[in-house]
């Protein structure tokens, strides 16, 4: 019998921001703001970043660390409720190889005058590429960077 | 604090077919065959069934039980490996309301001269709509119906 070619995993990250849900939501909805915390960073080059933020829309980003392989993220927005939630599916491509497909849920909960963001990723890692620990670590870093943008 | 608006769940169904992987794969890849086990059925009306079966392509189906509400399935194919696997994201809409977004993995494993199909669904149920038990029961029924087509 052949082996399964896909490994599934789920992780959840919670992060509390001082900013209210509308401001956190805008950091996902506004391409200029999202680009800052999602694609840019010291030592990174953004080759493309195109966003059509609506249920049924898509987002494509191409980026790389200086000297590193080309990386790509193709996102489909599946369900968007303003100031409340964003459910999307995305694949990651590294050096021409698709390494994963994921369902990502951003749920925004009012907490005092701020926001509790609950990010749930249900991931399928392809052909032994990538693993849940590194994916989760990457998202923790992104969501901290989001804090610098909305609270900073 | 507000409540989360999304409930996440994962289920796995295995089904063994006498048909080899290439034949089972074709039942997903060929729109005429897929329509038979996926959309048609006694007491059901298919209002639309459009398929662009490729990584990055999409599938849209609209169907209803006679006298029942309009139902819709919008699928994005995220990763297809011929005769091996299909990873897709799909949303379900009932009577105009989006009830879920899911990542579905079909993994085809050769088993003797037949196929072990492992279907993994990682689902996000929206606003208390639908539940994992009914979703899993629906897929068990579909995968049995697939057997009637490929082994029948």
Q: Would you place residue A4 in the very low, low, confident or very high pLDDT band (cuts 50, 70, 90)?
A: confident
Angle between helices B21-29 and B132-150 (to 10 degrees): 110
Q: Which of A5, A107, A116 sits opposite B6 (nearest CB)?
A: A107
Q: Where are the domains of chain B?
A: 6-144
pLDDT of the residue at B130: 79
What digits encode the pLDDT tens for the residues B124-138? Answer: 999 998 789 999 999
Share of chain A above pLDDT 70, in %: 99
Kindly report the nearest CA distance between residue B65 and chain A, in angstroms: 25
Residue linked to tokens 């979703």: B135
Kindly report the nearest CA distance between residue B22 and chain A, in angstroms: 14
Kindly report the nearest CA distance between residue B31 and chain A, in angstroms: 22
Tell me if B10 and A111 make a contact (CB, 8 A cut-off). no
Q: Which of B91, B105, B116 sits opposite A6 (nearest CB)?
A: B105
Tell me if B110 and A85 make a contact (CB, 8 A cut-off). no
Which strand ranges, in their side-by-side order, compose the sheet holding A6-17? A6-17, A114-126, A97-111, A85-94, A71-81, A58-65, A44-51
Q: Beta partners for A88?
A: A77, A104
**Distance of alpha carbon B89 from alpha carbon B98, whole angstroms:** 14
Q: What ipTM was predicted for this assembly? A: 0.95
Query: Which residue in chain A is spatially nearest to B118 when comparing CA positions?
Result: A4
What digits encode the pLDDT tens for the residues A69-101? Answer: 999 999 999 999 999 999 999 999 999 999 999
Q: Which of A74, A105, A124 sits opposite B6 (nearest CB)?
A: A105
Write the DSSP symbol of residue A35. I
Mean pLDDT calculated for residue range B140-149 = 96
At A14, is the secondary structure helix, strand, or coil? strand
| pLDDT surpassing 70 at residue A111 | yes
Q: Are strands A114-126 and B58-65 parallel, antiparallel or unpaired?
A: unpaired
Q: Beta partners for A121?
A: A11, A104
Q: Would you place residue B120 in the very low, low, confident or very high pLDDT band (cuts 50, 70, 90)?
A: very high
Tokens of A130: 């990538």
Mean pLDDT calculated for residue range B78-92 = 98
pTM to 2 decimal places: 0.96
Cβ atoms of A43 and A141 closer than 8 Å: no
To the question of domain A6-144 being in CATH 1.20.960.40, the answer is no
| pLDDT surpassing 80 at residue B1 | no
Q: Transcribe chain B into DSSP letters.
A: -PPPSEEEEEEEEEEEESS-HHHHHHHHHSHHHHIIIII--TTEEEEEEEE--STT-EEEEEEEETTS--EEEEEEEEEEETTTEEEEEEEEEETTEEEEEEEEEEEEEEETTEEEEEEEEEEEEETT-S-HHHHHHHHHHHHHHHHHHHT-
Cβ atoms of A91 and A6 closer than 8 Å: no
Kindly report the nearest CA distance between residue B2 and chain A, in angstroms: 5
Asked whether the CA dihedral A95, A100, A101, A105 is positive or negative, the reply is negative
Tell me if A101 and B89 make a contact (CB, 8 A cut-off). yes
Mean pLDDT calculated for residue range B38-61 = 94
A130 phi and psi, to 5 degrees? 60, 170
Partners of A10 on chain B (C-beta within 8 Å) are 8, 10, 122
């Amino acid at each position: 019998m052949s082996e399964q070619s896909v490994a599934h995993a789920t992780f959840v990250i919670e992060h509390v921001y001082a900013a209210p849900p509308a401001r956190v939501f805008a950091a996902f909805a506004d391409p200029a703001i999202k680009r800052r915390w999602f694609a840019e960073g010291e030592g990174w080059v953004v080759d493309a970043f195109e966003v059509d933020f609506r249920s049924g829309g898509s987002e494509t980003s191409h980026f790389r660390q200086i000297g590193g392989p080309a990386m790509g993220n193709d996102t489909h927005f599946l369900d968007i409720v303003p100031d409340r939630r964003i459910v999307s599916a995305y694949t990651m491509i590294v050096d021409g190889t698709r390494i994963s497909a994921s369902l990502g849920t951003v749920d925004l909960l009012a907490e005092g005058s701020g926001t509790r963001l609950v990010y749930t990723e249900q991931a399928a890692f392809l052909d032994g590429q990538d693993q849940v620990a590194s994916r989760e670590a990457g998202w923790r870093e992104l969501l901290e960077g989001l804090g610098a943008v909305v609270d900073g």
